[in-house]
């Protein structure tokens, strides 16, 4: 497991960026508002975005909001779309393994209760 950030933080960021470009604070707020369990904080989000930018999964552009500080906006690239598809496959496989675990766990618990 990658200890630098939550295992699937990059996948969720790419998913949200596939919907529309955004900036770091808005992405973190979206994760906290929409995910059932958000384990990311601002450091994790920005580290993930920086790593994905270096990998060519994202392109960036600075926007200056009137009266505010510049914001670094992120947009997914074709390479990022491909990585998103890879994440989807990985998550599906992990989900199948976790479903197996939970089903087997429930069987064990039922046996112990009888």
List all residues 6 or more positions away from 76 whose beta carbon is below 8 Å from its beta carbon.
14, 17, 18, 21, 57, 58, 84
**pLDDT score for 6:** 67
48 pLDDT more than 90: yes
**pLDDT score for 5:** 52
Structural domains of the chain, with CATH: 9-113 (1.10.10.10)
**pLDDT score for 100:** 97
Residue pLDDT, tens place only, 2-36: 444 567 999 999 999 999 999 999 999 999 999 99
Q: How confident is the model at residue 114 (pLDDT cuts 50, 70, 90)?
A: confident
Residue pLDDT, tens place only, 60-85: 999 988 888 899 999 999 999 999 99
**pTM for the structure as a whole:** 0.87
92 φ, ψ (degrees, to nearest 5): -60, -45
């Amino acid at each position: 497991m990658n200890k630098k950030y939550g295992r699937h933080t990059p996948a969720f960021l790419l998913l949200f960026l596939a919907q529309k470009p955004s900036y770091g604070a808005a992405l973190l707020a979206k994760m906290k508002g929409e995910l059932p369990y958000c384990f990311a904080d601002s450091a994790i989000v920005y580290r993930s975005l920086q790593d994905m930018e270096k990998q060519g999964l994202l392109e960036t552009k600075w926007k200056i909001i009137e009266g505010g500080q510049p914001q670094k906006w992120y947009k997914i690239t074709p390479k990022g779309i491909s990585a998103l598809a890879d994440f989807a496959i990985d998550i599906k496989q992990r989900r199948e393994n976790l479903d197996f675990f939970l089903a087997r766990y429930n069987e064990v618990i039922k046996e112990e209760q009888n």
